[in-house]
Amino acid sequence: MLYLENQLCFPLYAASRLTTQIYTPLLDELGLTYPQYLVLLVLWQHGEMSVTEICNKLLLESNTVTPLLKRLEQKGIVNRRRSESDERSVIVSLTREGTALKEQALSIPEKIVASFSGSNITEAEVIAFRSTLLKLMASHHPSPSRYPRGKVSSVRK
């Protein structure tokens, strides 16, 4: 039946919005938006990367990522420069401020996990949910190796 509660799309959409709501006050303290935080997570993990590589990691198009990078550059968090070997490619790197911001962000995952305390959701259920989401993503994307199968990032340091 075409009932809202029977659809996969609605709980995924609602969970995505709720996730952003949970992260927003924590990221406000750092002066970041949720999409900017995702870009920084990629750079903190992988270091200097091209815009294309960042887009691939985040499953986003360059017309979405480029404005995020421009704002991060204006804030002094990243630098952008043309690749010396291929002028069509833009390389993004963290500034000192961007690297230092990682230290401030280290407590965010623990705070996210703590936000579930008092609810009827266990950490094991969150880990299982993440695993299921990664399987879903891998089944509909050509590069499933992009999604590591480790612990939930919110319990990693």
Q: pLDDT tens digits, residue range 31-77?
A: 999 999 999 999 999 999 999 999 999 999 999 999 999 999 999 99
pTM of the model: 0.84
- Cα 34 to the center of its chain, rounded Å: 7
Q: According to the model, what pLDDT value does residue 51 have? A: 97
Query: How far is Cα 35 from Cα 41, in angstroms, rounded to an integer?
Result: 10
In DSSP terms, 49 is beta-bridged to 92
Residues in the chain, pLDDT under 50: 144-145, 147-157
Query: What's residue 151's pLDDT?
Result: 47
pLDDT at residue number 145: 47
C-alpha 80/C-alpha 144 separation (Å) is 28
Give the pLDDT confidence score for residue 124 in this predicted structure.
Answer: 85
d(CA 131, CA 76) in angstroms, rounded, equals 35
**How many C-beta atoms surround the C-beta of residue 12 within 10 A?**
12
Phi, psi of 103 (to 5 degrees): -60, -40
Q: In 3-state terms, what secondary structure has residue 138? A: helix
Instruction: Say how many residues make up the chain.
Output: 157
pLDDT score for 96: 97
Helix, strand, or coil here: 92?
Answer: strand
